[in-house]
């Protein structure tokens, strides 16, 4: 059975469990910071989480923020209900596991998905959890066995449909490290993650790193990986290579589709011998069949975001994992990638690992090793966050 860990503020672990439906609830929330930084003009500000952040998503229905980071030495899930001014821990992974992916339901408020997995380089193993109340309680909906989810996406046009990019290894000789067969694939669920189907037909990527869903065509999706982009026109059941023009830097790190006009953007990066070999943002105007490189080059691109109300506004996050790499940060294009400029000051030198743009386009959030940083694109224009209500309690519980 699952047990809580007694601490100044109790919380449940997101733990690997052998039953298909296992529940854990957060006994209390831990407020990580008591101060609030005031955002300035053209300045990034941060209020945590204190252990840094590797991923971030925003719930478009109520503007709640969810991030993956570190708390007390464990990979943990965090939530902010005040645009990032304060953060609470809503669950943490067991020792030796990381939160590998986050997703929210784009139409139903408070439905959050968290994938936990063994770290890269270890034998794949993972689980998928779901919360129906904004992280107050969780259910294990999919023990993934010898697979790990590396990217998770919910279909806006079909809220119960989820897609996951996975890495799987099968032991073909004992001991397993002496003989194993590893592959990547795409999972699809039509019932909010309870049952999954796997599709690989035509997909020849040895590692899938990101997925992008076309908001204008629910049947179309894209997968990027170590050797370019693949496209599917039948909800992932069949795939074909879609990378003409990416030959100069085919290692895909991020994919996104403009929700207004269907333009596809890809972030790339390839490194070796402690140096960046290539890195850029590419653009496709024909559903990924051909690509052109944009002027944002020689950067370790990690993430992309597109303003849903202004299709020409694109954001790119770049990381700097070592001093030998080019400077990281966030870059903005206001003309569909034709030109780029650095956005704001105040970000850590290590750069950005993930971006989340509020649906109104007035605020941008960046996950970094030093915490989540927030940028007011339109100062003072953000609407209040709608606090999700628990099924058991009227409001989110808090402790001193």
Integer Cα distance of 282 and 130 in angstroms: 34
Q: Give the residue among 331, 329, 326, 285 at the shortest CA–CA distance from 305.
A: 331
* Residue 120 pLDDT: 77
Integer Cα distance of 204 and 243 in angstroms: 12
Q: Give the residue among 112, 192, 146 at the shortest CA–CA distance from 16.
A: 146
* Residue 173 pLDDT: 67
* Residue 223 pLDDT: 95
* Residue 180 pLDDT: 64
* Residue 11 pLDDT: 38
CA-based end-to-end distance of the chain: 28
What are φ and ψ of residue 178, in 5° steps? -85, -15
* Residue 146 pLDDT: 83
Q: Domain 208-343 belongs to what topology?
A: Methylamine Dehydrogenase; Chain H (2.130.10)
Question: Rounded to 10 degrees, what is the CA torsion of 135, 109, 44, 275?
Answer: 70
CB 290 within 8 A of CB 241: no
* Residue 331 pLDDT: 97
pLDDT beneath 50, residues of the chain:
1-38, 390-400
């Amino acid at each position: 059975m699952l047990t809580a860990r007694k601490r100044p503020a109790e919380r449940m672990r997101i733990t690997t469990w052998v039953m298909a439906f296992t529940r854990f609830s957060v006994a209390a929330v831990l407020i990580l910071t008591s101060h609030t930084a005031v955002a300035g003009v053209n300045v990034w500000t941060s209020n945590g989480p204190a252990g840094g952040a590797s991923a971030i998503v925003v719930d478009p229905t109520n503007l709640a923020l969810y991030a993956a980071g570190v708390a007390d030495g464990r990979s943990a899930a965090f939530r902010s209900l005040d645009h990032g001014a304060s953060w609470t821990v809503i669950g943490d992974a067991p020792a030796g596991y990381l939160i590998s992916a986050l997703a929210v339901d784009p139409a139903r408020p408070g439905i959050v998905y968290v994938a936990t997995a063994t770290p890269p380089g270890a034998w794949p193993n993972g689980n998928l959890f779901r919360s129906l109340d904004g992280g107050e309680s969780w259910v294990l909906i999919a023990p993934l066995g010898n697979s790990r989810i590396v990217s998770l996406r919910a279909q806006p046009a079909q809220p119960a449909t989820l897609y996951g990019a996975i890495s799987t290894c099968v032991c073909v000789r004992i001991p397993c490290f002496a003989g194993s067969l590893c592959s990547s694939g795409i999972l699809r669920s039509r019932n909010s993650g309870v049952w999954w189907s796997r599709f690989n037909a035509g997909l020849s990527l040895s590692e899938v790193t990101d997925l992008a869903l076309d908001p204008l065509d629910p049947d179309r999706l894209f997968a990027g990986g170590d050797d370019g982009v693949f496209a599917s026109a039948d909800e992932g059941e069949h795939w074909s290579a879609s990378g003409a023009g990416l030959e100069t830097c085919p290692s895909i790190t991020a994919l996104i589709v403009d929700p207004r006009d269907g333009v596809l953007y890809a972030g790339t990066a390839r490194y070796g011998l402690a140096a960046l070999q290539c890195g850029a943002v590419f653009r496709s105007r024909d559903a990924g069949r051909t690509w052109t490189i944009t002027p944002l080059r020689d950067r370790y691109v990690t993430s992309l975001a597109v303003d849903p109300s202004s299709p020409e506004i694109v954001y790119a996050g770049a990381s700097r994992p070592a001093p030998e790499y080019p400077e990281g940060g966030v870059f903005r294009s206001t003309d569909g990638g034709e030109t780029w400029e650095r956005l704001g000051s105040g970000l850590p030198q290590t750069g950005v690992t993930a971006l989340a743009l509020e649906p109104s386009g007035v605020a941008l959030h960046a996950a970094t090793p030093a915490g989540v940083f927030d940028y007011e694109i339109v100062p003072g224009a953000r609407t209040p966050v709608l606090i999700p209500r628990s099924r058991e309690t009227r409001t989110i519980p808090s402790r001193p």
